[in-house]
Structure 1
Amino acid sequence: MQWQNTVTIITGASSGIGKATLELLRKEGSLVYNLDNTPAKQPDPYFIQCDVSNPLNVEQAIKTIHEKEKRIDFLFTNAGRHLFANIEDTSYEQLESLVGINLMGTFYLLKSVIPIMKQQQKGSIVLMGSDQAFVGKASSSVYGMTKGAVAQLTKSTAIDYAAFNIRVNCICPGTIQTPLLDNAVQQFVNRSGQETSAVYTALDTAQPLGRIGQPEEIAKTVRFLLSDDSSFITGALIAADGGYTCQ
């Protein structure tokens, strides 16, 4: 099987989409490392505490994995943070935090992993985008900005490294039931005064499929994009949003 004896790195895999993807790929037979600032609830020998917004942390984590495993086959840059705020309500500290994690963290991972994949002459990478790579949303200026940048980074990187048999794609989830969503909903409830249940109902009905997505659904799409089943796909932005952005 194509996943046997492979090494995968996922950032932010202690919860949400990252955790679902980690569990799925481990079932397939890949050795999956979790790079996260927060440990998973269960002890994991392949957990490395890492602040992806710190380039030295990222470099050391990748070096540790490569020295031990001698290869890195797959990378999923899942770690991210959300902020529900317009420009006036966004502090400089919040701006730096979101850009540092969502965008710079992605860049640092690419910069550390791509040279290894170049030596191997093979690799597959999935970057975490968002439906906001396609559309704008209210009170999401900085978050949307970071995800739009990740989308463009996907395209340029795919072109630059296609000759080395390295594919780079971007998964663009819509509204998914994760701790990130719960936090965003709570921020909205605090500002608007609306009932939490009413907000979730509105989110369900905003999707043409009539519901929000589950982490496991996104994990399966990531698996496809990483795998040889998508061998002729690179530089693509793949919407997984229940039809939200096709409206």
Structure 2
Amino acid sequence: MSWKEKIAVITGATTGIGKATRELLVDRGVKVYNLDTTKPADDDTRGEFIPCDVRKVQDIKDAFSAIIARETKIDMLFANAGIHLFATMEQTSDEDLDNLININIKGTFYSVREILPYMKAQKRGSIVLMGSDQTFVGKGSSSVYGMTKGATGQLTKSTAIDYAPYNIRVNCICPGTIDTPLLDRAVTHFATINGVEEAGVYESLNAVQPWGRIGKPQEIAAVVAFLLSDENSFMTGSLVSADGGYVCQ
């Protein structure tokens, strides 16, 4: 397929999987808009940056309106922005709970809801939501994070059904444990509240993967790019594992 003249929006594309996907799409010729609260480093010039907090509906409305005014269309959305937390229910504060729900569930919902009218008018579009291996399975010390990713899976399926008549595909990428700043922060939090060494946590994470290691952001970006692409013409409502074999155990 030709990637040139395609317009993509990625939420949370300053670091991690979002950044890797942004870089890959730009390298293929896509014009990518990064909606994030944090601006990329000065030497990170791939893509266009728009300050946006996905917890705030007006931020998302303003960002999409600005992109449409400039480009007249949006072909792809990767609703990637999210946070992680290693914690049992008793270790999860009310603030933690609110942050996870507001970013992982509401932020994803708002982003998709606001872009759908534009894609309906175009009669085409491709959307990928950020799920997790925990869209499929449970893990210890991850009750609220897992809850948000289970919700994302159901949002994918229902939205795919509702918008298939408009030629809008909606799929969900479900990564396993990936080497990102998001993981680093979660490991630090887990190690602190449990009084263990961070190095030991990383060793445990590697050990439970059938592939023998955690994943790289670029490995997930490659799958996301396919899901967004025109080559993926008959997949919608799919929850796609990219986890080194974790959930097939």
TM-score bucket (shorter structure): over 0.9
In 2, distance between residues paired with 1:138 and 1:200?
Answer: 15
In 1, distance between residues paired with 2:154 and 2:170?
Answer: 11
Cα shift at 1:196: 2.0
Q: Residue 82 of structure 2 contacts residue 103 of structure 2 at CA under 8 Å; is this kept in 1?
A: yes
In 1, distance between residues paired with 2:2 and 2:94?
Answer: 45
Cα shift at 1:113: 0.5
In 1, distance between residues paired with 2:94 and 2:202?
Answer: 30
1:80 is aligned with what amino acid? G
Cα shift at 1:187: 1.3
Aligned to 2:18: 18
**Greater CA drift, 124-133 or 85-94:** 85-94
Aligned to 1:126: 128
In 2, distance between residues paired with 1:108 and 1:198?
Answer: 38
Aligned to 1:235: 237
Cα shift at 1:170: 0.2
| 1:172 matches 2:174 | yes
1:93-108 counterparts in 2 under 5 A?
A: 93-108=95-110
In 2, distance between residues paired with 1:107 and 1:48?
Answer: 19
Question: SS of the residue aligned with 1:72?
Answer: coil
| 1:85 matches 2:87 | yes
In 2, distance between residues paired with 1:36 and 1:136?
Answer: 29
Aligned to 2:202: 200
Q: Residue 13 of structure 2 contacts residue 35 of structure 2 at CA under 8 Å; is this kept in 1?
A: yes
Q: Residue 125 of structure 2 contacts residue 168 of structure 2 at CA under 8 Å; is this kept in 1?
A: yes
2:23 is aligned with what amino acid? E
In 1, distance between residues paired with 2:219 and 2:227?
Answer: 13
Cα shift at 1:197: 2.0
**Greater CA drift, 68-77 or 92-101:** 92-101
Aligned to 1:2: 2
In 2, distance between residues paired with 1:141 and 1:198?
Answer: 22
Aligned to 1:144: 146
Question: SS of the residue aligned with 1:8?
Answer: strand
Q: 1:69 aligns with which of 65, 68, 71?
A: 71
1:182-193 counterparts in 2 under 5 A?
A: 182-193=184-195
Percent identical: 59
In 2, distance between residues paired with 1:189 and 1:110?
Answer: 34
In 2, distance between residues paired with 1:196 and 1:51?
Answer: 30
Q: Residue 125 of structure 2 contacts residue 169 of structure 2 at CA under 8 Å; is this kept in 1?
A: yes
Over aligned residues, Cα RMSD in angstroms?
1.1
Deviations 1:170-225 (A, max 9, x none): 00000000001111111121123332222212111111010100000000000010
Question: SS of the residue aligned with 1:238?
Answer: strand
Q: Residue 87 of structure 2 contacts residue 190 of structure 2 at CA under 8 Å; is this kept in 1?
A: no
1:167 is aligned with what amino acid? R
In 2, distance between residues paired with 1:37 and 1:175?
Answer: 23
- Unaligned residue ranges in structure 2 (runs of 5+): none
| 1:49 matches 2:81 | no
In 1, distance between residues paired with 2:166 and 2:108?
Answer: 20
Instruction: Give me the TM-score of the superposition, normalised by structure 1.
Output: 0.97
